[in-house]
Structure 1
């Protein structure tokens, strides 16, 4: 099965026409993974038996025209809990954990009869920008195996980019869907906060986390988001707003004619590579040729986003990760003499350096005497950043900019410098702080590596982003490029 030449719609048409069965398609996907993943390291667990059994049931029931995702394989980031299937969050502390229930998004995809073939690698507890913080393996960029795939959803992005699966789910706390999508030349959507239920997502920072799809095309992405979005009684932060058929409007000749686009000068400032700047300016020209207006705008407080984010996210992480204590589930240290030993040794041995770093930073920010100086001030900065976005989006349909300042960097190049690594997310973090939707899609190449473009929209207006992304995609050929297997791009 060559997923580089097929999209979800063509796979569905083939399944309905019985060119192959869901079981045959699933087996071909598993063969893809077996052949390709030993080099890429995108998967932490492949649930072949369960996937084939599910496919057989789908074949027996038959696939109808109105089941566009039925029988199609996909992958899940390994911080989404899956019943009786290992869910580790790429951490030693959960190395042998098998949940007793499925995350809501997993249930929704199962209801759509999609087939989960495995769990993908990530930075431990989704804390990182390179997937080098995994306790188990380092995933490689599909385009160049000496480069990182981005993070924290690097496994999900690389699995799609390398042609192992047509779609996957990731999670985005400060750019963790969009940045790996950009680094791997695929499409990634971070939906509006509340658009998708977080029930069953192992929490990192609860006010920032959001689950979203990663695919090879905008239309595929839109189909996936429609399947996983919607209100969930298990998650009181999930919205009860109606979920559109995001892909339906993309069947016609989607137009951006008459749209106003904001291009923040801060997104093209010092630190953004020349190749990335040029790709974004070229994308702006493409939109102008399609009849849109592109204005230079300003996000003056964008520069404070990283500082505010790492205080807020780390504070929420220090609270969320208290549950991993070696008592109820997960890793427990040996050679303990008392209860305090259980807590201290289990957490010291079970968590990696980056997770410990963020727990310590968050605990400090929330401690007596520092709460007002750090956490409260960061929360106020968050509001100021949101107001900057509101001011632009009041008069513009969406905001255009790069996803990351550079293309993918080398494995090992930044892992020893946390601050440099944190700054890699400077263009994605503000979107999470504001709770807005952000779409990443391919917009060019630099030295054989993909450049990602980011579209940022109004709350719950993913439809406009998909229309704009689809229009760009139909007038460029970047999404049609594929990596050379072996990583020689």
Structure 2
């Protein structure tokens, strides 16, 4: 199996009978077992994968394929319940939990489409970091690095690396402040964060329910479109390609370019020139709401921190805290300082800012900017220095958390490289519920953004 093959590419081989699902599953499992970095997966679901692959093989051979995704291997971030496995959320303090009795609804939906679950992937503990460093299960290394070990991005670190390393064509992630789009950009793959509530959240370990959303990390926007349809129980996707001349993009100029690396800006601007040459309407605009989000956080604290503290309060003040990542503990404990009046003020301001942002856009416009202001930095300095860790974590989350706070959706697409030849991502974002418009535009523009058209 070509490790760089997309879901769509594999589907052609499987549905035509040129590749058997069992052969594919065995190859994937062998590649995972032999891969040099063993911190990508927290659990390999070998028995399940082979059983599901055998069932897919029998269906396809008898002419009863479940559709485009039948027999396609995938991996799940260790926040999703899979029957018989313990959902540890990247933490050792949950390792003694009772194994899940059943799959989470989204896991069940993709199994119903014939997808083959091969494993559970590593993440930042409790999904509470944008860097992907995990002191318990190891830190998956960014496979695009050619010099020193670099971070994978988080919190969906293992999911991104599993795809970027060619171990699986797609892996599922969650996104509370950028946890799909960040590792997608760092690893040079596609990451789609859906509007919050687009998929069922039952059986998914939370971080902050006001912000949590789901989505796939994969090799192409087309793959994301197919996965999105199956997650919603659709037999086939209904996303149409759009004429580039009908797409309206607005480059956000507030906050997102502050202190950005020159290589990131250069790669982004080159992609913008390609888009304009392809006939896409692109303009630049300031968005005061972006700046106000950070002023609000400075005044009242972060919404994610308040809700994470409420979720983990007993652990943070009990014996479990000593066994947790101390950086997660320190950051989560900041939520104790966020009182009820602060929390209500944040929620009220959020509603106002979402309305203000919507009013600042014309119908049909989508936002674009660099997914991140920098490429993936080396791991070692971040492990050695707490102050540097928190500084870079904040900078890494900055551009993407805006979309979560404004309750939108977004797709990160590779658009070039920056320092040390590391990938740079371009983020296209829409407002809440604009997923179809977003995916249609991303599907139509992907080749131009990548410089392939």
TM-score by shorter chain over 0.5: yes
Aligned equivalents of 1:162, 1:88: Cα separation in 2: 23
Provide the rounded CA distance (Å) in 2 between the counterparts of 1:182 and 1:479: 17
Question: Hey, what does 2:32 align to over in structure 1?
Answer: 33
State the alpha-carbon separation in 2 of the partners of residues 43 and 247 from structure 1: 33
Per the alignment, residue 24 of structure 1 pairs with: 23
Question: Counterpart in 2 of 1:329?
Answer: none
- CA–CA distance in 2 between the matches of 1:324 and 1:348? 6
What is the CA distance between 1:40 and its match in structure 2?
A: 6.1
Structure 1 residues not aligned, in runs of 5+? 231-242, 326-342, 481-489
- 1:292-331 equivalent positions in 2, closer than 5 A: 292-306=280-294, 308=296, 311-322=302-313
- 1:433 paired to 2:405: yes
Q: Which residue of 2 aligns with 1:336?
A: none
Q: 1:265 aligns with which of 228, 244, 253?
A: 253
Structure 1 residue 76 corresponds to structure 2 residue 76: yes
CA drift of 1:227 comes to 1.2
Selected match of 1:401 from 343, 346, 369: 369
Give the structure 2 partner of residue 233 of structure 1: none
Corresponding residue number in structure 2 for 1:140: 141
Asked whether the equivalents of residues 271 and 450 of structure 2 are also in contact (C-alpha less than 8 Å), the reply is no
Question: Structure 1 residues 459-468 or 377-386, which shifts more?
Answer: 377-386
- Does the 8 Å CA contact 2:41/2:158 hold for their aligned counterparts? yes
Give the secondary structure class of the aligned counterpart of 1:249. coil
CA RMSD across the alignment: 2.3
3-state DSSP class of the match of 1:428?
Answer: helix
Contact 2:190–2:220 (Cα < 8 Å) also in 1 = yes
Q: Which residue of 2 aligns with 1:235?
A: none
- In the aligned structure 1, how far is the partner of 2:235 from the partner of 2:291? 34
Cα distance, 1:244–1:474 mapped onto 2, change above 3 Å: farther
Point out the more displaced range, 211-220 or 409-418. 409-418
The residue aligned with 1:117 is 118
Matched, 1:212 2:215: yes
| Aligned residue in 1 for 2:131 | 130
Contact 2:253–2:285 (CA<8 Å) still a contact in 1?
yes
**Is contact 2:373-2:395 (8 Å) kept?**
no
- Output one character per residue of 1:184-206: Cα deviation in whole Å (capped at 9) or x when no partner: 00000110111111111101000
Q: Distance in 1 between matches of 2:452 and 2:119?
A: 25
Q: Which residue of 2 aligns with 1:197?
A: 200
SS of the residue corresponding to residue 390 of structure 1 reads helix
Q: CA deviation at 1:245?
A: 5.2
Aligned ranges 1:114-193 → 2 under 5 Å? 114-144=115-145, 146-193=149-196
Q: Residues 99-146 of structure 1: CA distance to partner in whole angstroms, max 9, x if unpaired?
A: 222111111111111011000010001000111135211111010161
8 A contact 1:442–1:478 mirrored in 2? no
Q: 1:53 to 1:269 in 2, by over 3 A?
A: closer
Deviates more, 1:412-421 or 1:258-267: 412-421
- C-alpha contact (below 8 Å) 1:306/1:425 kept by paired residues: no
The worse-fitting range, judged by mean Cα deviation, of 87-96 and 448-457 is 87-96
Q: What is the aligned partner in structure 1 of residue 351 from structure 2?
A: 383
Instruction: Report if aligned partners of 2:289, 2:357 keep a CA contact under 8 Å in 1.
Output: no
CA distance 1:143–1:277, change in 2 (3 Å): same
1:280 to 255, 262, 268: 268
Cα separation, partners in 2 of 1:267 and 1:375, compared to 1, 3 Å: same
| 1: CA distance, partners of 2:153 / 2:46 | 26
Unaligned runs of 5+ in 2: none
When structure 1 is superposed on structure 2, of 128-137 and 426-435 the one drifting more is: 128-137
> 1:3 matched to which residue of 2?
3
CA–CA separation in structure 1 for the residues paired with 2:235 and 2:361:
21
Residue 236 of structure 1 aligns with which residue? Answer: none
* Contact map agreement 2:411 2:429 (CA 8 A) in 1: yes
Alignment-derived partner of residue 95 in structure 2: 95
Work out whether residues 131 and 154 of structure 2, in 8 Å CA contact, stay in contact via their aligned partners in 1: yes
Maintained 8 Å contact 2:56/2:65: no
Tell me the TM-score normalised to structure 2 length. Answer: 0.91
* SS of corresponding position for 1:90: coil
SS at match of 1:401: strand
Cα 1:271–1:229 shift into 2, 3 Å:
farther
C-alpha change, 1:405 and 1:244, in structure 2 (3 Å) is farther
Shift of 1:405: 0.7
Question: In the alignment, is the contact (CA less than 8 A) between 1:205 and 1:317 conserved in 2?
Answer: yes
Alignment partners' CA distance in 2, 1:95 and 1:51: 22
Cα deviation, residue 207, structure 1: 0.7
